[in-house]
Chains A and B, each alone.
Chain A
Amino acid sequence: MSKVHVSTTINGDVVEFLCEPHQSLLEVLREDLGLTGTKEGCATGDCGACSVLVDGRLVCSCLMLGVEADSVELTTIEGIAGPDGLHVIQQKYLEHAALQCGICTPGFIVATKALLDKHSDPDETTIRYWLAGNLCRCTGYDKIVRAVQASAEALAYEA
């Protein structure tokens, strides 16, 4: 069994790595590339803690092989903030206390980014369905929904 060479782009940087053919992208990100912002919750695609963007599309990195990342553009939580500080979405999650223990937060923020990239002014139903693949056992979701609504408003104001 030999490792596979993968060439990909992560948060704008060209990254090359070797991985086992059956290693998940999540394992590669956390254990081989040191990008530990992406969290492992269930590792079965149910909780969304490991959410990343693959060519702009929201996916669970636990349900994708590392080798499948060849030649794609990946965005992880580490790529959300800009050089000048937190992204608006991150700021609004803080302001609205939309987190408590924080394990689900990177996944929620990446998912919120994907949502607002597609729907700039989502209603509450759209937000709740879009984020149904992200589980939070602390907040009861209400503060998260408000943070997403506030992010949408702030991004519309910026635009």
Chain B
Amino acid sequence: MAGYAYLAPTNVDEALGALEEAASVGQRAQMLAGGTDVLVQIRSVDKGPRTFVDVKHVEEANALSMTDDELFIGAAIASAVLNENARLKSILPGLVESADLIGSTQIQGRATIGGNLCNSSPAGDTIPALIACGAVCVIASPNGNREVATEDFVTGVGTNVLEPTEFLVGFKIPRPKGKTSDAYLRFIPRTEMDIAVCGAGVALTLDDDGTCTKAKVAIGAVAVTALPVPEAAAALVGTKVDDDALHAAAAASTAAAKPIDDKRGTVEFRKQVVGVLTRRAAAIARDRALAR
């Protein structure tokens, strides 16, 4: 059955059944979220028949919930919907702004953070932000759900840990406690509608004195996958996130970056700018945390 087909399952079991059935007859199945990457790819770099399994009607993938300890953000929720959620925006401003940076108003209405991660581009803007805020990917598989840290999800350019019979349901994110906040910045040569030349996400926690007790830093578009930079986080922890600490974190990101030269930027430029973005994003996260 080499042709195109479209299925719109309404829950995880139905979606898994659709993937399994396609696999059993040798038909390629592809999960479809906002489709803003997939529809371009099927007409250019990745033509060929497949069964689209639309995740947008899967109930669990549309869930947005919060307990005292954890948030769950469904993989099928459009960026615009996240951005219009004032409460979510105040709790995880960095993650929401990373999604809000992707594409135009038109793209925002369809694109999802789940799709951005599963597309697994080195330049995906939400990926460093997800890593920084400690997001864990909830993957539905035939043997039940399994969980993978975001930094372990993407395995290469356009590849990830999902098996053909699995799909991403959403993200579990520890609920920021006390003086905790996050920020994401990227560099593009214009103000809108472009792909990151490099990006940096930072999440940090301050104690009552303003001393950083916990930090996570991740950088994007400067390696095959988004990279956590524990050295940059270590440069912030134990400090007041002052200029010295910020510059040390920046130097750590510059050292960790392994970019390529391409039409969007040179190795030298990307290494320098990813440091600057780390410094600035950390300062924003610090100021947001202090304001809590």
CB of A32 within 8 A of chain B?
no
Cross-interface CB contact of B109 among A59, A68, A115, cutoff 8 Å:
A59
Q: A46-B193, A65-B6, A132-B192 are in contact. Are A60 and B107 (CB under 8 A)?
A: yes
Instruction: With both chains docked as a complex, state the minimum distance between the C-beta of B221 and any C-beta of chain A, in angstroms.
Output: 19
Contacts of B105 in A (CB 8 A): 58, 111, 114-115, 130-133
Contacts of B49 in A (CB 8 A): 1
A-B pair count, CB < 8 Å, reads 86
Cross-interface CB contact of A64 among B42, B103, B110, B192, cutoff 8 Å:
B110
CB of A44 within 8 A of chain B?
yes
Contacts of A48 in B (CB 8 A): 104, 106
CB of A24 within 8 A of chain B?
yes
Contacts of B110 in A (CB 8 A): 59-60, 63-64
CA distance A67 to B8 in the complex (A): 10
Contacts of B109 in A (CB 8 A): 54, 57-59
Cross-interface CB contact of B3 among A1, A24, A62, A131, cutoff 8 Å:
A1
Interfacial residues of chain B within 101-136, with CB under 8 A of chain A in the complex = 103-107, 109-110
CB of B223 within 8 A of chain A?
no
CA distance A45 to B43 in the complex (A): 12
Interfacial residues of chain A within 5-30, with CB under 8 A of chain B in the complex = 20-22, 24
C-beta contact mask, B23-35 vs A, less than 8 Å → 1, else 0? 0000000001011
CB of A51 within 8 A of chain B?
yes
Cross-interface CB contact of B5 among A21, A46, A58, A64, cutoff 8 Å:
A21
CA distance A64 to B43 in the complex (A): 13
Contact: B104 with A22, CB < 8 Å?
Answer: no
CB of A157 within 8 A of chain B?
no
Q: A45-B40, A111-B105, A132-B104 are in contact. Are A64 and B35 (CB under 8 A)?
A: yes
Counting contact residues on chain B (CB < 8 A from A), the size range is 20 to 34
Contact: B52 with A65, CB < 8 Å?
Answer: yes
Contact: B192 with A1, CB < 8 Å?
Answer: no
Instruction: With both chains docked as a complex, state the minimum distance between the C-beta of B58 and any C-beta of chain A, in angstroms.
Output: 14
Majority DSSP secondary structure for residues of A touching B: mixed
Contact: A133 with B39, CB < 8 Å?
Answer: no
Contact: A65 with B107, CB < 8 Å?
Answer: no
Instruction: With both chains docked as a complex, state the minimum distance between the C-beta of B22 and any C-beta of chain A, in angstroms.
Output: 13
Contacts of B42 in A (CB 8 A): 22
Of the listed residues A24, A60, A114, the one surrounded by the most CB atoms of chain B closer than 10 A to its CB is A60
Q: In chain B, what residue has the closest Cβ to A54?
A: B109
Contacts of B91 in A (CB 8 A): none
CA distance A62 to B43 in the complex (A): 11
CA distance A4 to B6 in the complex (A): 8
Q: In chain B, what residue has the closest Cβ to A26?
A: B39
CB of B80 within 8 A of chain A?
yes
Q: In chain B, what residue has the closest Cβ to A20?
A: B4
CA distance A115 to B80 in the complex (A): 13
Contacts of A134 in B (CB 8 A): 104
CB of A150 within 8 A of chain B?
no
Contact: A67 with B6, CB < 8 Å?
Answer: yes
Known: A21-B3, A45-B40, A54-B109. 4 other contacts (CB 8 A): A20-B4, A51-B106, A63-B40, A134-B104
Across the A-B interface, the 5 shortest Cβ-Cβ residue pairs: A133-B104, A1-B3, A21-B6, A132-B192, A21-B4
